[in-house]
């Protein structure tokens, strides 16, 4: 164990001790007065954050929920429509298609992004110079805005003046954005291209936290690189994987900008996911009530998935993976 | 110790309050540009950025402000797409500018129904000179239930059937006069390895222009008028189904360039296909003339760009001279504006819009303003053939159909564009298209 590791471990221990302390609010030894000042100050400090959370998260959420029971074109008066919008949404095949697409994009994005990010993250975690250099290149897409990426890809994929013409490779002149399956593939590819660097960064940080002694012990026991990766790196990254997956999956629910610019939901409805459907219904077709139904469904979907992923982390979220180190 | 706690606490308070303060500021900010502040007779106007409109609008407002010290106008410019969202929000929030710029039709109708714009009919009756010098065809899209709610202005942009003269000469072809000739040409050009028609299908409204013309040529203007009026099952009229079938036949015959669904109009790739000789024909707005002239090298100056009237359909009812497109841009007055602001706005409408100087600027930019009697001025430009063609097309059209996505309500327009996209990639049949669209009638 290196000095740095030991001190990190000590830090953890101290933190756990403190937590135990703060939990002991009922302990008479703490004294009622001291206790109240602590919690009192915390309550008061939480007010600004709470107000902002209420104003920008809870209030609009409640507003959207109420709007989903109304008819509103964004300009005229708001009229109560009962459950009409909800009935229409549940009877609308486009709605189910959008939901299905959202889930497909989510699943495929996760399946593609996770292994690549994990491998790249592990690779760039090494301290070699060439790895640091490559890491800089890998992280480049992080610096670009979604709209810029989307416009660039749209131009590259133009069948007549794009990549195919530039590189003189006719097989690249596919109907990339005009064929329903290809367009979906393009969207998932570009989304992955944009977000893999971010998740690589998360994994890089995660891998660097793993104590070297684990690898040293493993190699003494005769474990090769592959075995070390599967029996040390991956299990040690459990919480990193959960964090990264949560971001990926919840982000996939609301993918909008890239798809909007690249395909606009087309061809037909081939890439019209829930978020895009919500925007087009609300702001292009002026049906705010109907769009609010989609918004509520999006919120429920996102929340549900995030909670489910948190549960995957196990009940003892705060438990250490370094138990016994 | 006590001191340090206090200072930390006040720091945290500051940190906590700062976002709140910012929030307060932005809350005030939303009423910013639309706020009816300023002098008693001062009015506000929103317009669009981008050449040539931005410079022209700025110049007319400056000129008006200079000669009317008591009636000042404050101009705010927005980028096109941002404007469309912003103006809707502003009107919904009762913060609209005095003068509301727009494209008439279905969008204007939603404002009228919400009681947000002023009825200009009585004022135009008192001031016939304002109305009479403008193209009569431009007033259709400004009229809701027989009343005029907007003053047409700026330029007319019919949809033009362009062709590459060089490629036509190479193929020994003549511009098609009938639909059958057009279908025959698709084979001629495909055999030569040239795409017959350039189309930026991903933009959807580009495909819509085809439907607008074919509907007119097959069923005449009343076919869409019935749809516009919300008549039951108007989209499944036999003429409508015939027109939809014809479009799918053209798609099936490879009339449109391979991969047209991957091409977008905002990159002007569709125009590039025409002037680089990759495609022989293109149906597009009159405004593309200017960009093809700029970007196409020698193409336009050498006279390789030609144009013709959209072919007729055998047994169809539509007149060869009927056209479609944007009959003009529109300016309404907000019903929420004060009496003084409305007076200023009307004064600007009467004296500040389409002044001789503005007309000249538009013509110089390569567009045709919607005022009558400018033949001589058009004939003096180096684009005289094209501008005169646009002018006579717009002026003499027995029927000038406004673009459907502007004419219909935003709800119906979005459904229309979505279904057109599916029709062109043949994922739905004409019958499915008709039944999907029938569901939007009257919305």
Q: For A221-239, how does the pLDDT look when each residue is reduced to its tens digit (9 = 90+)?
A: 988 889 999 999 999 998 8
Rounded mean pLDDT, B432-437: 95
Same domain, yes or no: B178 and B77: no
Q: Tell me what the mean pLDDT of segment B45-70 comes to.
A: 89
pLDDT, mean of residues A198-210: 93
User: What CATH number has the domain bearing residue B420?
Assistant: 3.40.190.10
Residue B101: is its pLDDT beyond 80? yes
pTM, two decimals, is 0.82
Cβ pair B263:A174 closer than 8 A: no
> Residue B88's pLDDT is what?
86
Residue B266 has a pLDDT of: 82
**Is residue A205 predicted with pLDDT exceeding 60?**
yes
Q: Which residues of A touch B111 (CB under 8 A)?
A: 75
The stretch B104-123 carries a mean pLDDT of: 92
Query: Can you give the pLDDT at residue B225?
Result: 92
**Is the four-CA dihedral B32, B36, B40, B42 of positive or negative sign?**
positive
Whether residue A32 is contained in a domain is answered as no
- Do the domain assignments include residue B59? yes
pLDDT of residue A319: 55
| Domain enclosing residue B232, as ranges | 158-325+402-438
Q: Do B114 and A264 touch (CB under 8 A)?
A: no
Q: Do A285 and B204 touch (CB under 8 A)?
A: no
Tally of domains in chain B: 2
Residue with tokens 């980028």: B79
What is the arithmetic mean of pLDDT over B295-317? Answer: 93
Shortest Cα–Cα distance, B80 to chain A (Å): 14
CB contact under 8 A, B110 and A263: no
B175, part of any domain: yes
Q: Is there a single domain that holds both residue B312 and residue B168?
A: yes
Q: How far is A281 from chain B (nearest CA, A)?
A: 8
Least confident of A309-318, B70-79, B314-323: A309-318
> Is the Cβ pair B421, A280 closer than 8 Å?
no
Q: Which residue of B has its CA nearest to A51?
A: B20
Residues of chain A found within 8 Å of residue B413, distances taken between Cβ atoms: 284-285
Would B369 be classed as within a structural domain?
A: no
Tally A–B CB contacts below 8 A.
115
Q: Using CB atoms, pick whichever of B17, B259, B422 lies closest to residue A48.
A: B17
User: Cβ separation of A160 and B259 shorter than 8 Å?
Assistant: yes
Same domain, residue pair B148 and B225? no
Please tell me the least confidently modeled range out of B28-32, B107-111, B211-215.
B28-32
Question: Is residue A33 scored above 80 in pLDDT?
Answer: no
Cβ distance A262 to A149 under 8 Å? no
- pLDDT category at B31 given cuts 50, 70, 90 is very low
What CATH number should be reported for the domain holding residue A200?
1.10.3720.10
Mean pLDDT calculated for residue range B29-38: 40
Q: Return the pLDDT at B65.
A: 93
Q: How far is A159 from chain B (nearest CA, A)?
A: 7
Distance from CA of B202 to the nearest CA of A (A): 7
Asked if the model's pLDDT at residue B4 lies above 80, the reply is: no
Chain A residues within 8 A of B261 when measuring between CB atoms: 175, 177-179, 266-267
Per the model's pLDDT, the better-predicted residue between A281 and A29 turns out to be A281
CB of B234 closer than 8 Å to CB of B409 = no
B296 and B424 in a single domain? The answer is yes
Instruction: Say yes or no to pLDDT of A294 above 60.
Output: yes
State which residues form the domain around A246: 93-312
The per-residue pLDDT for range B341-354, each reduced to its tens digit, is: 999 999 999 999 99
Q: Which pLDDT value is given to residue A22? A: 43
Q: Is the Cβ pair A263, B259 closer than 8 Å?
A: no
Q: Considering the domain boundaries, does residue B366 fall inside one?
A: no
Position A324 scores a pLDDT of 58
Span A129-154, mean pLDDT? Answer: 90
- Taking 50 as the threshold, does the pLDDT of residue B36 lie above it? no
In three-state secondary structure terms, B35 is coil
Nearest chain B residue to A265 by CA: give it: B418
pLDDT tier at A170, thresholds 50, 70, 90: confident
**Which member of A74, A266, A281 has the closest CB to residue B88?**
A74
Give chain B's mean pLDDT: 88
Assign B365 to helix, strand or coil.
coil
Best residue of A286, A287, A294 to probe chain B, by most B CBs closer than 10 Å = A286
Check whether A151 has a pLDDT greater than 80. Answer: yes
Q: pLDDT tens digits, residue range A95-114?
A: 999 999 999 999 999 999 99
């Amino acid at each position: 164990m290196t000095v740095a590791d030991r001190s990190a471990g000590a830090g953890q221990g101290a933190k756990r001790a403190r937590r135990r302390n703060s939990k002991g609010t009922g302990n008479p030894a703490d004294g009622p007065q001291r206790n109240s000042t602590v919690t009192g100050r915390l309550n008061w400090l939480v007010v600004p954050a709470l107000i902002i959370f209420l104003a920008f998260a809870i209030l609009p959420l409640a507003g959207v929920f109420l709007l989903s029971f109304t008819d509103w074109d964004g300009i005229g008066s708001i009229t109560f429509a009962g459950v009409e919008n909800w009935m229409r949404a549940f009877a609308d095949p486009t709605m189910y298609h959008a939901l299905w697409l959202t889930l497909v994009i989510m699943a495929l994005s996760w399946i593609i992004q996770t292994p690549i990010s994990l491998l790249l993250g592990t690779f760039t975690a090494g301290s070699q110079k060439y790895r640091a250099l490559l890491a800089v290149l890998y992280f480049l897409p992080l610096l670009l805005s979604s709209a810029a990426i989307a416009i660039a890809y749209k131009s590259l994929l133009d069948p007549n003046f794009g990549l195919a013409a530039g590189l003189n490779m006719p097989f690249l002149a596919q109907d990339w954005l005009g064929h329903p399956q290809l367009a979906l593939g393009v969207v998932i590819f570009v989304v992955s291209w944009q977000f893999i660097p971010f998740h690589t960064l998360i994994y890089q940080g995660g891998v660097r936290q793993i104590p070297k002694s684990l690898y040293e012990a493993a190699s003494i026991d005769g474990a090769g690189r592959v075995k070390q990766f599967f029996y040390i790196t991956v299990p040690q990254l459990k919480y990193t994987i959960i964090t990264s997956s949560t971001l990926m999956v919840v982000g996939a629910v609301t993918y909008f900008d890239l798809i909007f610019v690249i395909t606009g939901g087309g061809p037909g409805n081939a890439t019209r996911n829930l978020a895009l459907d919500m925007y087009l219904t609300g702001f292009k077709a002026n049906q705010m009530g109907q769009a609010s139904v989609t918004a509520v469904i999006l919120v429920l979907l996102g929340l549900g998935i995030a909670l489910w992923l948190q549960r995957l982390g196990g009940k003892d979220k705060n438990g250490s993976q370094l138990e016994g180190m | 110790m006590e001191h340090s706690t206090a200072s930390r606490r006040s720091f945290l308070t500051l940190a906590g309050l700062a976002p709140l303060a910012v929030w307060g500021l932005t809350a005030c900010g939303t009423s910013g540009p639309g706020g009816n502040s300023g002098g008693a007779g001062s009015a506000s106007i929103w317009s669009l950025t981008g050449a040539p409109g931005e410079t022209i609008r700025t110049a007319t407002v400056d000129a008006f402000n200079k000669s009317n010290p008591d009636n000042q106008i404050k101009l705010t410019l927005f980028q096109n797409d941002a404007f469309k969202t912003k103006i809707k929000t502003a009107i919904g929030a009762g913060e609209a500018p005095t003068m509301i710029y727009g494209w008439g039709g279905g969008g204007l109708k939603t404002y009228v129904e919400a009681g947000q714009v002023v009825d200009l009919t009585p004022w135009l009756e008192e001031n016939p000179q304002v109305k009479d010098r403008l193209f009569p065809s431009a007033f259709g899209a400004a009229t809701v239930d027989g009343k005029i709610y907007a003053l047409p202005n700026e330029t007319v942009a019919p949809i033009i059937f362009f062709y590459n003269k060089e490629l036509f000469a190479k193929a020994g072809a003549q511009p098609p006069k009938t639909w059958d000739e057009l279908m025959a040409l698709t084979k001629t050009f495909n055999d030569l390895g040239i795409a017959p028609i350039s189309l930026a299908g991903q933009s959807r409204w580009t495909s819509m222009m085809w439907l607008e013309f074919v509907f007119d040529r097959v069923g005449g203007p009343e076919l869409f008028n019935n749809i516009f009026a919300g008549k039951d099952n108007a989209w499944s009229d036999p003429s409508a189904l015939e027109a939809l079938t014809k479009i799918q036949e053209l798609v099936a015959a490879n009339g449109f360039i391979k991969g047209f669904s991957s091409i977008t109009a905002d990159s002007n790739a569709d125009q590039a296909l025409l002037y680089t000789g990759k495609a022989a024909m293109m149906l597009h707005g009159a405004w593309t003339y200017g960009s093809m002239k700029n970007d196409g090298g020698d193409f336009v100056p050498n006279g390789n760009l030609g144009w013709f009237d959209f072919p007729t359909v055998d047994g169809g009812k539509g007149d060869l001279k009927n056209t479609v497109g944007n009959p003009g841009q529109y300016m309404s007055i907000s019903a929420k504006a004060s009496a003084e602001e409305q007076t200023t706005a009307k004064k600007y409408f009467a004296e500040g819009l389409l002044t001789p100087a503005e007309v000249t600027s538009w013509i110089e930019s390569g567009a045709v303003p919607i005022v009558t009697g400018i033949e001589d001025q058009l004939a003096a430009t180096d684009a005289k053939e094209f501008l005169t063609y646009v002018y006579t097309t717009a002026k003499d059209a027995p029927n000038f159909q406004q673009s459907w996505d502007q004419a219909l309500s935003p709800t119906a327009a979005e459904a229309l564009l979505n279904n057109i996209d599916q029709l062109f990639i043949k994922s739905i049949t004409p019958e499915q298209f008709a039944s999907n669209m029938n569901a939007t009638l009257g919305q």
